[in-house]
Amino acid sequence: MTEDNTQSAQRGSARHVPVLLERTLELLAPALEGDRPVLIDATLGLGGHAEALLTAHPGLTLIGLDRDPQALRLAQARLEPFGDRARLVQAVYDEIPEVLTELGFPGVDGVLFDLGVSSLQLDEAERGFAYAQDAPLDMRMDPSVGPTAADVLNEYPARDLARVLRVYGEERFASRIAAAVVRERGRAPFVTSGRLVELIYDSVPAATRRTGGHPAKRTFQALRIEVNTELDVLGRAVPAAVDSLRLGGRVVVLSYHSLEDRIVKQSLVGRSRSTSPEGLPVELPGHGPELRLLVRRGEQATEDEVTVNPRAASVRLRAAERIREVTG
């Protein structure tokens, strides 16, 4: 990253407004009132939530995870005043058990997930996450690992590419877009986003282009999820987070599209129910709910917050508290 881009990212960090910050602090606070609490910020990003949590709880140790080395560098600078109370690790959030073992923490009192693409990634054109600027088709959250979005577009068979767009982007015209991509890559491989955006625009009917936002939005979401295996990782990460919680510990998850929210809901709701056979007059020992849901439905941001922070428009918040330890 160039010096100009670094300075721009640092300014962006200073301006960054964490989504649903006050509600997140409110939900986590009861779990962080004990002696020397520990919390995992599983998606550290620019460190906005982390900074607020460390400020609100002077005895807190925060373990911050992010797979993006650029985000970690910026968050490290932001959280430097907190010294060793902020322990930052480059890791994907399904690696929570390994990180806790390595750092010597047998359990934690809170876990926070703020999912999706970060403001940093959207604002840095060369990362290729945003369809509004012509940039290399990368989309890797960790730029040193795995295939890029260009690799997916240039190498996937039409059937697999259509599946990615349909399942991860909920794109109605997935087959049409995939066929156009395969046809065009035969002329020249895809390298930058501008050509892809133009192709999508031409592939989507005019009537559809006039509603529902930018026609490339769903395809870019799908490619990002595929490149970073986001849903597979999330499906492992939420159970791992719950398993790491001590009795009374809390987990808060901010999701930004229905696919993420569905996985989170299933994970939390499933563990908030009894596993005793139906019809028994008493709860079988060891079969009671592990979690108490703190939010019955995915909470949304208020109109006022969306006005101040447009990224909050699509957020859904879910939270739960650990009420039973599982042994054996």
Please classify residue 179 by burial: count the beta carbons closer than 10 Å to its beta carbon, then call 0-12 exposed, 13-18 middle and 19+ buried.
middle
Cα 262 to its chain centre, rounded Å, is 13
Residue type, 79: L
Tell which residue, 80, 194, 176, has the closest CA to residue 135: 194
Annotated binding-site residue? 114 = yes
- Residue 156 assigned to a binding site: no
* Residue 221 annotated as lining a ligand binding site: no
DSSP 211: S
Kindly report the backbone phi and psi dihedral angles of residue 113, in degrees, each rounded to the nearest multiple of 5, phi listed first. -120, 125
Is 93 annotated to bind a ligand? Reply is yes
41 is in an annotated binding site: no
Residue 49 annotated as part of some ligand binding site: yes
- Angle between helical axes of 174-185 and 193-203 (0-180°, round to 10): 130
53 with 41: CB under 8 angstroms? Answer: yes
Q: What CA–CA distances, in Å, run from 305 to 117, 121, 301?
A: 19, 22, 6
Q: Which residues contact 274 (CB under 8 A, 6 or more apart)?
A: 283, 287, 288, 289
Residue stretches of the annotated binding site: 47-49, 66, 93, 114, 121
Residue stretches of the annotated binding site for S-adenosyl-L-methionine: 47-49, 66, 93, 114, 121
